[in-house]
Structure formats: structure tokens, C-alpha cells
Structure 1
């Protein structure tokens, strides 16, 4: 009698868990998740193709129901779920997953939108020509056969493939403790690399990359940069950057971004939804609509860009924030077989390793096939020898057979008479009478001679390794010519790293800095030209004790060099400045730059080519202080931005920086003071100094007026084209020709540049201007006006000038002026202004409002 104790085996749970989990892990690794490096297949794929070949569902036969194939695979070879087998079959037929499909599908096999395939009872399938090539010569004992799960039939342990499928179609899978992810490649390139390896087994990976340049994905697109590719090929691991193929189509109303190819493995429907959500959430501005217009002719995702937005900037943001640019993490792990590990063991493989194992497999296949063909040829030759003997002695053979009572007796008689063996004698007995004719006898001799030649050829292949390699190369080249195609994925060698400038259009902006240190940038198109003498519009929201002190013009990609009153230099890109409407307050500059609390920004330069060494070496920064001290330093001294800034000029205690200009080394300089005098001298009279130098005397101030100080400095590049603009604190201004200012030595008091009266007030600004520029003026109340330069008359050097802006308040004065490019709409605005009545002088409206607004609209805007 058997007791319960006899049926229970007591084991240590820890040891049992270890043992069982190791067994499970090895089963997943070897029999499920990882592909074989030789044919690139996991067991399920290998079983599907082999079963379809057994069923005769080749590419030249009608398709059969997928359910028929799945059921046959389950019953014969793969005792797992039917959904896993059907899923594997479907993937082999999807052209967006497989670079070269191995199965031809009929029906709904899914889509790039993530749609699943129809049920297996609806779809049909058959082998593709490439799929058949994977099993060519399998009937010639070219690979080892294993018993199936119920030990009733054989299945191949590997395919005798002529196609380097592991590299060509790639692989992906998650095992236990490891995973694999191999990209697809172009068949022509891989075979060229294989042929090169056969010719030179010592070939380097660099040399292999002359043939196999990079992965080639079925969905096309771009590979950005070769660093990840090289890492993957040299180490087996790498990160390959993929980018969608896009075009920008210009239309009459707006630009359109068209996506025609996507990165590998991307779900198109999810991408379109995500882009639409980004646009709706304002995370990417400038997108008005996203549509998927894909059809049978190809993929087409259309992204409409709003009219006032730069399509290239929007596209760069899409690359940064969506899967239009993504990465493929290569982890080239596969099962490698040797005599010690017949089941295979996982290894991390380089590009050369992959080719090496495939070529070794092909060598084994060719040798085993040749041995099989040789054996069959020798067997046939042996039979032919007997048949030829019989044909040469046909009468005696017929007599012996007729005299025999049974077929076995005839066989024995033939063996005894002609010295034949059983196989030969049986072949003679089985010979048909038609073969006794003279023609058939001649064919026997011809066949025997052909067999002898083939036997010699097979023996030569087996004995001559050079000939064996030639056979391998010829077969690979045949596959290349038959199934190869052009590369789909283009290689772009440019960097994948985005420059911050890629996300900002190089638009023109106006930068304002208030007396209390608030800074902002405002699009230039918010400021429109007005007539001379207008009251302007609100250009900055400030506190009662604050006012706009400095105003500059720049573009978004410029580098701003900020110079403080104490002579320090700081750097910021224009796009790093806070953006705000023209009536916004801005952001405290102390929060952006490491400026001392008792210091302030007094001058700025905007430089586009700060990274250009030649430009920096050939240009200079000219400083001017309140006390008339000037200093010239090479721009290269300020070309390496530092977070904490650098000393730009040594300033005395009672002095401060008031103006900084960029020169080319041979320009002319004009310095002006508050009391209306200006001095002109050549830049060559000032030698270049280091950053920490103090400088030399540029202009001598009025000794009788302790309040006199330098208010600005200008650089004259083209005296014939430029004029000198002078603006007073009470809104008066005029232009004078450069030649009105005679050239003198630096250090003098200069000549009169504005006739100072109670109506004009002191001089606040001097600028070198051209007809292609507009003037922007801002007062301490934050009111800004933009004037066309041709509206400011050219007058004598010592005149008072004309009213440029109506300050309205008696205690209001001009705070700052700057020059901007001429307004493209100024002609239309001029035409509109002719239709405006005198009440426009009282209008303090938004700058985008045209000059022909009615009195009622102007009043409303002022409120």
C-alpha cells in the first residue's frame, strides 16, 4: 500500500526555485526570444516557413487560409498558443516591419496606424520568393534535423539560407535577463560586405562599412549622423538617430510641412494625434491643422503652419518634441552555435561577427550539399556502369533474364555472370524494353560522362577551399541580383544635436531696458511708422519711479554683449531675453545676469558672428565714458562668453560707460556731449588696448559746466551715405551731413552739433543714420514713436532741428532712441496718414493701429 509520504518528495524551496527558473530562462532564451545568428529566425518563424514549404504553398501557387497554416504549425511543430503563431506569420508579411517580406499576405494584415490584422479565418498567405530562398537546398541534408515536440517528425534546427537574414530583416525580442534589437539592412550592401569578407577574412569593420554603410529601414526616412552606427557595428550596441523625411511646401496663404516617410517602428495614427495635441495645448505654436492624407500611393501627413510663423522653426520643434525624430537602440545579441553548445548560447555581436557566422554557416551548407550531390552522383554512376555493361551485352542479358524463373534468380544470374552487385543487377532487371534501343544506349554513355564530370567537380569543391569560396560568392551575387533593391533610408552626416537657434526664427526685435533694470524683447512689427511730431504709443509698462532708459534693435540669433556702468561685460542670446508686448514691463535683468546690485547696464552690442574667429580678429570694441575717455579693444577679447562676466574697461570712481560701438579698425568716430558739441576723429589715432586698460582722452568737456557729460558715440562707416542725427531731450531733432563735422585730433572740445535753447533742452542722443532706417524714440513715460528717416530734414550743424515727438507733458523728456530697418509698410501708412485729421495728434494708440483711425477709435484706444 502506497502512503502519502511515499508520494511526496521533500526538496529545498530555494534550490528548487533556482533550478526551475534557470530551466525556464534557458528555454525562453534558446527556444523563444532570441534569433539564431545563422538564419535570423526564432523557432516559431522557422517552423512557419518550413510548414508552408511542406504544404506546397510557394509563391507560384494560390494562397491558402492562414488558419490552415497556423493549425498545421501548431499540430506538427509549435505547441503554443495560436495567436502567437498567427502574430508571427502576420509580421513576416508586413512590408513596414520586414525589409524583405518572407510571406505574401492576402487580406487585411494590419497597417502602420497600428491596426491589427483580420482574424486568421479571413486572411490567406503563401511563401514569398525571398522566403523560399531561405529554404533552398534543405532537401539535400544541408542542415541538422531535430525531432519535433511529440517525436513524430523532423524539423530543421536552422535554415540553409542564402540570404543573410539576421542583418537584412533584423530582429527584436525580450528574453530573461537580456534582449535583442537588430536593425534591418539593404540586401545588396550586406551581400557586398559578405563577398568582401570571403575575399579577406581579416577585413576591418571600417572596411566593411565601405559596403554596409548603415541600416536601411523599410519605412525609409533619414539616419542622422554615423556615431551611433559606428558604435553599433564596432561593439554590438549603439543608438542610431532616425528622422522622418519632410518637405516644406510654400503656399499663397501659409506654408505646409509634408511628412512622406517615418522612422522605423512608428505608429502613424498616434503620431498625428500627438502633434494635434501639442498644437492644441500651445506647447508648439504655429500649427493650425494636422491631417493624414495617406493613401495607396504613399504616406502623406500634412501639417499646416500659421501664416506668421517660420515653418523651419516649427519643424525643428516637431523633431525635438515628437517621434518625427527618434532613436533605434541597437543591442545585437543572438544565439551562436558551436560543437560544444549545439543549442546555442547568446552573444553580443559586432558587424563582422554577424557576417563571419553567416559565412561559416554558408560554408557548412555548401560542403554538406556538395557531399550530398557527390554521393548521389556516385550512386548514379555506379548504376550507369551496370546499365552500360548490360547494354553492351544486351543479347546475353536478355537470355539470362528469360532463362530465370524469378526476378531474384535473374538478379543472381546477372551478378554471377558480369560481376555486378545487387543495386546494379536490380537496375538492369527493372530496365524498360525501350532502353534497349540504340538511342537510349547512347544516352546512357552521355549521362555517364556527364556524371563523371560532376563527380570530379564536386570532389574539387571539397578539396579546393578557393573553389568552395567562389561557389559561395557566385550564389550570393545571384541572390543580390535577383532580390536586391536600392537603399530606402538616406544617410545624413550632419549633427543631430539641435542648436537653440533652430527653435527661433531670426526675426527682428526691439530690446528695451528700464531705469530700474527691467529688460524685454518685443517683435519689431509691433511698432509701425508714424508721422513726425506725433505723440507715439505706449512702449513700456513701468513703475511711477521707472522709465525706459535704453532701446536697441537686434535679431533673435544675435549675441548681446551687455556693458555695465562699471565696465563689466556680460553675454546673452537675444532669444534668451524675456519676450513681452510693447507695453509689458519685462523681467529684472539682475535675475538673468550676475550684475552687482549697485551696477547697471549702460550699453549693448549685438553681434551675429561672435563665433567667427576671423571676424572677431578684424573688428574692435570702442568704449566711451561719461568723462570723455575712450578705449579700443579687439572683439576677440569678448568672444568667449562667461557666466560671471569679465572686466571690459577700467573705470574711474567718478566715471561710467555711456556708449560702446563696433568698428572695423579704420572707421571715423564722433563723440557728442550734453551741451551740444561733437568731435570727429579717425579711429586709427586710438591704439588697441587690453580689456583691463583705462583708455585715453577722446573729448574734453565744458570746464565751466560741471553737469556736462558725454551722451553718446557713433561710428561712421560711409560718410557719403550716412548722416548725423541729433535728438534733444525735449523731442527736437535734425540730421546733418558728416562733412559738416571737420576731422580733428581726439581730445578736443569739438564743434557745435545742436543749437541748445530752452525749447530744445540738452542733447540726449547722437546716431549715424541712412535713408534705409527708421528712428524709434521713447520718453520717460514709456511712449514710443517710430519715424521714417526721410521725414527728418537735413539741416545745418548748428541749428535747433524740428519737433520729432509731441511730449505733451511739460516735465517729460526723451529717454532713449535707436535705429531699426525701414518699415515695409511705410508707403501704405503714408498714404493712410493723408486721410487722417488733426485729431490724430491726440491719439495714444497701439502701434499696430494705422494712421487713418477715426477720432472715436483713437479716444477709445487712449482710454
Structure 2
């Protein structure tokens, strides 16, 4: 070690902590977080102060932005020019600031995310609002500090009359913390501050009644109120914002969604691209075109809908998948006396009032000091005017001004300041009129001094001044709210907009659904052979027909075990011959998920006795069965809920609505079936996995179907993949405990192939059989005789090709009954139970 050197050993952990804390506090205080008093970060404060020093007020000509940036960089803010310029640009953008502080001329960007022009092309000057923030800055109202090179002074805070932190909000990311504060309406904010001044003990609830909610520059809706209330009470909350939309109909009868306002900070161009991408990827159905027709009169995004699309359904998908609905995470962290602090609404208001009180007090002291100085000079001038001849003689006799001042001080006992003022007095002030003016000014000044002293002595006078100045600001910048509030979005009931009309719901085998008014069937002229109820694809057919009213609920269960809801009025309306819409496009189902079961419930959640006495029984292909109370599903959610926790190698195959005493049958691919009463299956919560219903013969075996039978007159029909079927009495299946291996339901051979379906049937049913080759056949169940349980069964169809096999079997109503139902004859719209009418078929 070289002599004279000193090596100081330090703990690296402590040094790193200290250095990091110093760095983070520097970022927090000097860069990223706003001051609670004026709502400004240092760069914004320096830009406004620099523009004020340049004298570019709102009534003066614009100056080049480069000139302003150079002034701020060279004197106050030694950082990159882009940081200063973009800070100034943002203060000039009406879609970024609720009340802009800079009046810009030129290209200052757009709501589409376009960049502003270079600073050499744009010009700017102070906005009237900024002048209110800078008013009285020359009256010792705020502290000044030395700039970066100690050559000039800059303000540590602005003496703003406007609560800028509340009306314009702020955002910033520091080290270890961030802030995100929402903008508000000036009128509401001023009213809330005045209410606080009049009663410092006012509750946050009372303040919330006045200030209501944030008011974003781009308008739109605040959807739901809980997040707003949380942010006001705690300083943190999640405010949901939605675009403002209207639905129009063109001359051709097609609907359009018109977007006139978008959520705060959403890029309009990116929003349109996002919608177009979702349409191209078929994640949103029903949109034919998106066009931006915005102009100088305002924003207008036109979303053209396809003829069969339902505007409300498309709109809900747009809210879900695009930034047409987004959230503003409120995090009210600001610097209070140089330290970051999380503030609620009352804290923000009280700190601003405290700042204004400090400004008014300092301004009053300054004005009192200036008034007293002027009064002191006036006292000397009045003495001189009373003794003008002698004063002139003393001044004329003196050899120098200093000698004249000394002689005046000695003669009239004046101060140095008074004597200087007398010596520098102009000859015109010797006239009688000017002497009267001196006395009038002195008397007025003495009254002003007394008024200023009273203000300094009485708190209520200072508060009255703050109130009056706020009222003046409110009157000058009075502007209504832009963002509308949907107070009770959680309780909004769309049923109020739909009459409870009777409908026919048809669901096809390939998953197309529609609703048709019952009146359309009843009023048609039908012939002796009935009428065609729906046209489907060649390989498709009507699988389910439900009579329902507009306020009924349809429940959908997917193979992944999720449950979704659709109100009947949310189902697309179609005429008798239309195909309908794919269920996948109406629900928020994962792309790799499919609907496996449906059921209709009259008024889910309203009839408590019904929902607490009925159950949903579900079965999976691995033999799991689960029974849950219907009441567990009485709170619909847009994204669905977990109805059954399905293991990775399993999937739901069926779900039925039961009364708690149905007979349950599960059939496996290996030709075995088990029968037990559902009462022996314990009720499990909605997210549970269920219990074992049947033990499978091997790892390759699986359950092919489940039936729940209430009417013991129904028969059990099983079908194998090689075209064999067997109709047996339900009594042939003895009742056992759940979880067993079951009994033989069909003798499975190479000739019959594996079992593929089990259905409960009567003579009033038909079977729709689809082969793997795509051929669809319809067979009447009435033509099938009843046989014993353990037999091979009879051949239902002849397969033309050896490799061909049955793909699926579906139970539908007999053709004659189907026609009657589609005509609306004999339908029961009040029945809620699961197996009392022929429209409730297996799934």
C-alpha cells in the first residue's frame, strides 16, 4: 500500500442499500411524482415558469417551441430536449389534459397516436389556465431555490389558484412506487373544496356526493361506481371506463354501432386495428366492416353489423375483447412535504387548501409590506409638501444630493428612504392638485393596511378569500361534465327492455341456435303436411325444440366443465327458415371447448323454492358423476363459472336438470350400464370434482352417455357403432349402488362394435343417426320392439362400407309431434321441471 493512501472498509450490503435509497428518493422527488400542492412534476413546473419568464402570455404572440425548450433547458432543466418538449406537448393536448395548460399552434399529435411535429415547426404560448397557476408568483408567495448551476432561481412550487392535481390528474413511475391520478371536473372540484373549507370535519361520503366521479377529457362512461368510491376512500381503486356508443339502423335495415367517445388514454387507431384483427381471426362474429369517419366535428367510428347480428351481443364482445372497455387504476401517491404519501379525496383537498392558505398569507404579508413602505414614503412627501418653501431652500443650498438628503433628515427628522424620495420628487408634484392626490392616496393606503392586518389576524377572512377566488375560477371556466356515470351497472336489468313474449328456441345438431316468435308459427297458412320449421345444412338437423318466454334462461355446459347462461332475449331472432347463429359465437367459450348440454329454466334465481329443490346432475366420460343444487348456478357471469372440475384426461358428456329422485343410468363403450337413484349421490359444491358413478372395464373404456329418468314408462335404448340397437324396459336394469361395474346392456361383439349411445325413449321419439361417412338417417322409435337386456339387439341400419360406422345418435321428437310443436300447438310456457314435456331431450 502506498503511504498516504487510505482504504476504508465498508459493508457492501449497507452501501448498496444507501445508494439505492438515495437514487430512488432522487427519482421520486425530482422527477416522477407530482407535488400535492400544485399537481406538478419538476419538468412541467419549469416549462410553465420558463414560458412565463419569456413573457408569452395567453394574449401575446406565439413563440417557437424550440425557443421555449431552449430557455427551459439552458436555465432550469439540464436533461434531454425531448423530455421537455414532450412534457410541453402533453400539456397542450386536449385529449390528454382535462384542462390544457399550454396553447399550442401546429401539429401537436392526435388521439390516433400520431407524433407531434418537430419543435422547430410548432409554436406555443401559455393557456389562460396556466396564468391562473402562475398568478402572484412575484409576490413572495412560494419559495425559490437555486437552479442546477446556482446562477438563477426557480420556484419549488407554483402558487396555483386551481387544484391542478385533482382537475388534471397525474401519472408517473418512480422507483418502487408509481402514481396514477384521475382528472376531475373543475366545477365539481371547486364545490367540494368550498364544502371542505366550510366544514373541515366533512365526511368523505359528503365530498363524494359533490365531486361524484372522475371526468375524463375523452368523455365516455364510467361503468360501475364501487371502484370510484374505493379510490376516494382509500386512494386506490379501479375505475371501469367504457366507450360511448349508439346503435343506428340504415335505410336497408342493417344496424350500425356508432362510437362517439372512447375511454381515456385509448389510442383510436389502435382500437380500430384491434377490432379488425378480432373480426379477421373470427373471435368476434357479426361485424362486416369498421370505418373511421371522425372529422373536425368530433369522433365517429362506424361498425357495420351483418344482417343476422344482434347489436347488444356484438357490443358486449367489443367491450370484452377490445379497449372499448378498459380500467383506470387509481393510485393517489403524491409528494407531501417532500415525502411520497397515499392520499384519499379528503387528503388531496386538505393539502390544496393548506397550500392556498399559505399562498394567501404570504401574499398578504408581501402586500402589507409594500403598502407600509409606500405609506412611509407618502408620509415624507406630505411633510415636504407642507413645508415646500423650506425644502426647496435646503435642496438649493446643498452642493450634492447626499448633502441635501442629510440636511432634510436633520431638519424634519426624516428617514433615509423618505429623504431620497423628496430629493427625487418632480416639480409637477408641487402643484396643489398633486398635493391633494398625495393625501388621498395616503388615506386609502392606511385603510388597505388595516384591511391586510385584519386578514393576517383572522383565519376566517383568509378562508373567505380562498373561497371567493375559487368561485371566480369556477365562474370563469365553467364547463359541464364530459364523462357520464352509470351508477348502478351491477343492478342494471335488461329484462326491463324486453316484453316477456313467447318464443320457440331451436338448436341444431351442429350447434346453431335461434329464437322465433311463436306468433310467426301460429299465423302462417299451413297445409295438411305441416310446415318446414327451419332450414339447416344438409348434414345438420334440429335436435332440440324448447318453448320459452323472453325472460327465461338457457344454461349451457361445456366439455371442460364450465357453465354459461343466455337469456332468451340474447339469442338471435330468426324466421322459420333461417339457420340461426353458432352457440360458440354467443358465449365466451375457449376455442378448444364445446357445448355438450343445454337446459331451460324459467326464472333462475327468482324462485328460491325451485332452485333449492332441484339439482344439476353431470356425468363425465371417465365415469365421474356429480350432483349440485341448481341454486349454486343462480348468479350468472359473463365469462361463465366452473360447474365441474374436470381432470386433464376427462371431459363432461352430459348434464341434466333433476328433482332429486330421478333414476340415473350410465353406459360404457364396453357394453355395460349401471342404474342407481340419484338420491344416493351426495350434493357437492359447484367447483367440486364429483364422485365415482361407474367403474370402467379398462383404461381404454369410457362412458358414452348418461340418462336421468323420472317417468318410469320410458324405455332405455342403446346403439352400437356397427348399426345395432336394442330397446329394453328400464326395469331390466336392476338398481345397484353407484361406483360398481354395472350390468351387461348389450352383448358386444366384433359384429356389433362398441357401444356409442344410450337414450331414454318413448314411441313419441325418433332417432337421428349420423354415419362417419356423413349420411343422416331418421328412424321411428315406435318401429323398434322391446327386447331383453343382454341380447345383441337388432340391426337398425345397414352400413354400405366396412370401414363406415355410426358417428352419433340423437333423440328427437317424432316428425308429426315436431311439426305440431313448431306450429306452437300444445306448448307449456310455465313448466319448469325437467322431464314433463317432450321438448326436453337428451344431450
Displacement of 1:495 in angstroms is 2.0
Distance 1:547 1:490 in 2: 47
What do the CA deviations read for 1:514-562 (whole angstroms, capped 9, x no partner)? xxxx89564367999874337979989999xx99997434468633599
Q: Which residue pairs with 1:353 in the alignment? A: 347
Q: Structure 1 residue 648 and structure 2 residue 659: aligned?
A: yes
Displacement of 1:17 in angstroms is 2.7
Structure 1 548/197 Cα, relative in aligned 2: closer, same or farther at 3 Å? Answer: closer
Describe the SS at the equivalent of 1:134.
Answer: helix
Displacement of 1:209 in angstroms is 1.2
Work out whether residues 414 and 420 of structure 1, in 8 Å CA contact, stay in contact via their aligned partners in 2.
yes
Q: Which moved more, 1:309-318 or 1:355-364?
A: 309-318
Structure 1 498/15 Cα, relative in aligned 2: closer, same or farther at 3 Å? Answer: farther
Distance 1:65 1:223 in 2: 38
Structure 1 495/386 Cα, relative in aligned 2: closer, same or farther at 3 Å? Answer: same
Q: Structure 1 residue 322 and structure 2 residue 322: aligned?
A: yes
Work out whether residues 608 and 631 of structure 2, in 8 Å CA contact, stay in contact via their aligned partners in 1.
no
Distance 2:473 2:301 in 1: 36
Structure 1 203/291 Cα, relative in aligned 2: closer, same or farther at 3 Å? Answer: same
- 5 Å-filtered alignment, 1:378-417, equals 378-417=372-411
Q: Which residue pairs with 2:716 in the alignment? A: none
What do the CA deviations read for 1:490-524 (whole angstroms, capped 9, x no partner)? 1111326999999x9999654469xxxx8956436
Q: Which residue pairs with 1:532 in the alignment? A: 528
Structure 1 779/535 Cα, relative in aligned 2: closer, same or farther at 3 Å? Answer: farther
Displacement of 1:221 in angstroms is 0.6
Describe the SS at the equivalent of 1:458.
Answer: helix
Structure 1 510/403 Cα, relative in aligned 2: closer, same or farther at 3 Å? Answer: closer
Q: Structure 1 residue 375 and structure 2 residue 369: aligned?
A: yes
Structure 1 512/205 Cα, relative in aligned 2: closer, same or farther at 3 Å? Answer: closer
Distance 2:582 2:288 in 1: 30
Displacement of 1:90 in angstroms is 0.6
Structure 1 260/819 Cα, relative in aligned 2: closer, same or farther at 3 Å? Answer: farther
Q: Which residue pairs with 1:736 in the alignment? A: none
Distance 2:582 2:319 in 1: 33
Structure 2 residue ranges without an equivalent (≥5): 557-562, 590-595, 615-628, 635-642, 644-654, 665-674, 676-709, 714-727, 731-761, 770-775, 780-812, 825-843
Describe the SS at the equivalent of 2:265.
Answer: coil
Work out whether residues 112 and 267 of structure 2, in 8 Å CA contact, stay in contact via their aligned partners in 1.
yes
Describe the SS at the equivalent of 2:210.
Answer: coil
Q: Which residue pairs with 2:218 in the alignment? A: 219
Distance 2:333 2:403 in 1: 63
Describe the SS at the equivalent of 2:217.
Answer: coil
Structure 1 199/92 Cα, relative in aligned 2: closer, same or farther at 3 Å? Answer: same
- 5 Å-filtered alignment, 1:502-541, equals 510-511=505-506, 522-523=513-514, 531-533=527-529
Describe the SS at the equivalent of 2:142.
Answer: coil
Work out whether residues 99 and 218 of structure 1, in 8 Å CA contact, stay in contact via their aligned partners in 2.
yes
Structure 1 290/708 Cα, relative in aligned 2: closer, same or farther at 3 Å? Answer: closer
Displacement of 1:418 in angstroms is 1.0
Structure 1 94/780 Cα, relative in aligned 2: closer, same or farther at 3 Å? Answer: closer
Q: Which residue pairs with 2:238 in the alignment? A: 239
Q: Which residue pairs with 2:97 in the alignment? A: 98
Displacement of 1:104 in angstroms is 0.5
Structure 1 99/70 Cα, relative in aligned 2: closer, same or farther at 3 Å? Answer: same
Describe the SS at the equivalent of 1:372.
Answer: helix
Q: Which residue pairs with 2:111 in the alignment? A: 112
Work out whether residues 290 and 301 of structure 2, in 8 Å CA contact, stay in contact via their aligned partners in 1.
yes
Displacement of 1:461 in angstroms is 0.1
Distance 1:449 1:416 in 2: 26
Work out whether residues 541 and 585 of structure 1, in 8 Å CA contact, stay in contact via their aligned partners in 2.
no
Q: Which residue pairs with 1:308 in the alignment? A: 308
Q: Structure 1 residue 257 and structure 2 residue 270: aligned?
A: no
Q: Which residue pairs with 2:553 in the alignment? A: 559
Work out whether residues 258 and 302 of structure 2, in 8 Å CA contact, stay in contact via their aligned partners in 1.
yes
TM-score by length of 1: 0.66
- 5 Å-filtered alignment, 1:652-663, equals none
Distance 1:30 1:583 in 2: 61
Describe the SS at the equivalent of 2:230.
Answer: helix
Distance 1:456 1:585 in 2: 82
Q: Which residue pairs with 2:359 in the alignment? A: 365
Describe the SS at the equivalent of 2:480.
Answer: coil
Describe the SS at the equivalent of 2:52.
Answer: helix
Work out whether residues 99 and 129 of structure 2, in 8 Å CA contact, stay in contact via their aligned partners in 1.
yes
Work out whether residues 245 and 257 of structure 2, in 8 Å CA contact, stay in contact via their aligned partners in 1.
yes
Distance 1:418 1:8 in 2: 71
Displacement of 1:585 in angstroms is 14
TM-score by length of 2: 0.67
Distance 2:455 2:582 in 1: 87
Describe the SS at the equivalent of 1:431.
Answer: coil
Q: Structure 1 residue 296 and structure 2 residue 302: aligned?
A: no
Structure 1 640/573 Cα, relative in aligned 2: closer, same or farther at 3 Å? Answer: farther
Work out whether residues 766 and 814 of structure 2, in 8 Å CA contact, stay in contact via their aligned partners in 1.
no
Q: Which residue pairs with 2:184 in the alignment? A: 185
Structure 1 412/221 Cα, relative in aligned 2: closer, same or farther at 3 Å? Answer: same
Distance 1:403 1:353 in 2: 67
Q: Which residue pairs with 1:68 in the alignment? A: 67
Distance 1:177 1:641 in 2: 42
Work out whether residues 65 and 123 of structure 1, in 8 Å CA contact, stay in contact via their aligned partners in 2.
yes
Distance 1:121 1:289 in 2: 40
Distance 1:538 1:105 in 2: 62
Work out whether residues 515 and 571 of structure 2, in 8 Å CA contact, stay in contact via their aligned partners in 1.
no
Displacement of 1:817 in angstroms is 2.6
Displacement of 1:225 in angstroms is 1.6
Structure 1 17/436 Cα, relative in aligned 2: closer, same or farther at 3 Å? Answer: same
Q: Which residue pairs with 1:151 in the alignment? A: 150
What do the CA deviations read for 1:584-606 (whole angstroms, capped 9, x no partner)? 9999xxxx9xxxxxxx99xx984
Distance 1:394 1:547 in 2: 118
Distance 1:193 1:247 in 2: 33
Q: Which residue pairs with 1:28 in the alignment? A: 27
Describe the SS at the equivalent of 2:138.
Answer: helix
Displacement of 1:14 in angstroms is 3.6
What do the CA deviations read for 1:51-108 (whole angstroms, capped 9, x no partner)? 1111101111101111111111111111111111111111111110111111101111
| Residue 484 (structure 1) aligned to one of 470, 478, 483 | 478
Distance 2:146 2:387 in 1: 48
Structure 1 532/353 Cα, relative in aligned 2: closer, same or farther at 3 Å? Answer: same
Q: Which residue pairs with 2:818 in the alignment? A: 817
Work out whether residues 91 and 100 of structure 2, in 8 Å CA contact, stay in contact via their aligned partners in 1.
yes
Structure 1 432/556 Cα, relative in aligned 2: closer, same or farther at 3 Å? Answer: same
- 5 Å-filtered alignment, 1:704-783, equals none
Q: Which residue pairs with 1:849 in the alignment? A: none
Which protein is bigger by CA-based radius of gyration?
A: 1
- 5 Å-filtered alignment, 1:487-502, equals 487-495=481-489
Displacement of 1:252 in angstroms is 2.4
- Number of residues paired by the alignment? 635
Q: Structure 1 residue 474 and structure 2 residue 473: aligned?
A: no
Structure 1 783/583 Cα, relative in aligned 2: closer, same or farther at 3 Å? Answer: farther
Distance 1:174 1:115 in 2: 23
- 5 Å-filtered alignment, 1:672-687, equals none
Distance 1:48 1:586 in 2: 57
Displacement of 1:572 in angstroms is 7.3
Work out whether residues 537 and 784 of structure 1, in 8 Å CA contact, stay in contact via their aligned partners in 2.
no
Distance 1:583 1:323 in 2: 29
CA RMSD between the two structures: 4.6
